Amino acid sequence: MSVTVDRPEWEAAEERSRRGSHLVEVALRIRELGILLVLGLVVAVTAAYNPRFLSAQSIRDLLLNASIIALLTVGQTLVVITRNVDLSVGSVLGLSAFMTGDLLAGHQGLPIVVALLAGIVLGAACGAVNGAVTAIGRVPSLVVTLGTLYVFRGIDFGWAGGRQINASNLPDSLLALGSGRILGVPYLVAITVVLVAVTAYVLRSYRSGRELYAIGSNPDAAVLAGIPVGRRVFAAFVLSGAVAGLAGMLWTARYGTVDATAGTGFELQVISAVVVGGVAIFGGSGSVVGAALGALLLSTIGSALVVLKVPSFWQQAIVGALLIGAIALDRWVGLRIAAALRQRSIRSGS
């Protein structure tokens, strides 16, 4: 049984669908714009209350405060896009922070590049554990990384044994990395920006990047398309671990004092930033730029509340409300887009 529908002409349908796709693209791109808008609003309101909020030093501090979490969101985004999650990033950061501190304090004269590499390798090894259990053992990553969150932190405590490493024991070159600037931009901020830019480019324009999205969007289809799903997921975890290892080393450089508790609870801040930044928690869509902006927004709100003399316990409630708002917005936009897309299918008669 069949109905023949008068089909609109090719050109007309084409033209209409082009216009439609433009609208959809704007709606999708709106996320980064939306965050910038909210960010601008927060800064404007706070600056109206206290103009010093806009001084060069204050802006540098805002960026510096956000940079470590923003760095972690880069790795986390890679993992979340594949429909997984890495809860162990805070513990990996802590482990790497203490290890690099210990290494440099114990071997005076060791080039900090060695410590940097050691941090990255340690993080990558931790990520490899997460990735192997998830991809080969087929255990949900939520469970795996919740486990390693405690395991890695436990190792950290065992290693530190209650010790604390102070700035006086650390080489000046390391502390310079934490507080120095290049062309007026703090090193940490520069490193974060470069890493975000490189990752964004790879995710956009390289096959391996697109395959991460494909895996998160439909894991079964990814297998049928011949994508090495296990290998890609494993790689995402290794990269997330490596980034957390790098962040740990930078953490020591920035704060100069390390004990076994560094980075405790960071995983939730990172995931909040990723979600606020528009990365779908069930994978398949989102960008590292959005996630990093999400980190900047959350940390700026934290600083703004201090300036506005809002009691600090409100901060958490506001972050939570923002998170729910962001997810509700995603859902709403998603439904609107889905409806628009279905409509387009019907109208173009195809």
Q: By CB under 8 A, name the binding residues for other proteins.
A: 1-5, 10, 13-14, 17-18, 20-21, 24-25, 205-207, 210-211, 213-214, 216-218, 220-227, 280, 284-285, 337-338, 340-342, 344-345, 348, 350
Torsion angle of alpha carbons 40, 45, 46, 47, nearest 10°? Answer: 80
Distances (CA, A) of 16 to 147, 207, 335, 340: 51, 30, 20, 12
C-alpha distance from residue 98 to each of 22, 179, 250, 253 (Å) = 49, 19, 11, 11
Q: Which is nearer to other proteins, 107 or 342 (CB)?
A: 342
Minimum distance from CB of 107 to other proteins (Å)?
A: 39
User: How many Å apart are CA 110 and CA 228, to the nearest integer?
Assistant: 40
In whole angstroms, give the CA distance from residue 40 to residue 34. 10
Q: What's the min distance (Å) between Cβ of 85 and other proteins?
A: 17
- Taking a C-beta distance cutoff of 8 angstroms, is the pair 177, 155 a contact? no
Please, what is the minimum distance in Å from the beta carbon of residue 126 to other proteins?
Answer: 29
Residue 217 or 261 with smaller CB distance to other proteins? 217
Q: Which is nearer to other proteins, 233 or 296 (CB)?
A: 233
**Nearer residue to other proteins within complex by CB, 37 or 225:** 225
When the beta carbons of 264 and 348 are compared against other proteins, the nearer one is: 348
- What's the rounded Cα separation, in Å, for the pair 94 and 65? 17
Nearer to other proteins by Cβ, of 52 and 204: the residue is 204
- The least CB distance from residue 332 to other proteins, in Å, is 15
What is the bridge-based pairing of β-strands 181-182 and 185-186? antiparallel
Q: Which is nearer to other proteins, 3 or 113 (CB)?
A: 3
Nearer to other proteins, 20 or 147 (CB): 20
**Distance between CA atoms of 206 and 325, rounded to whole angstroms?**
32
Closest approach, Cβ 300 to other proteins, in A, equals: 29
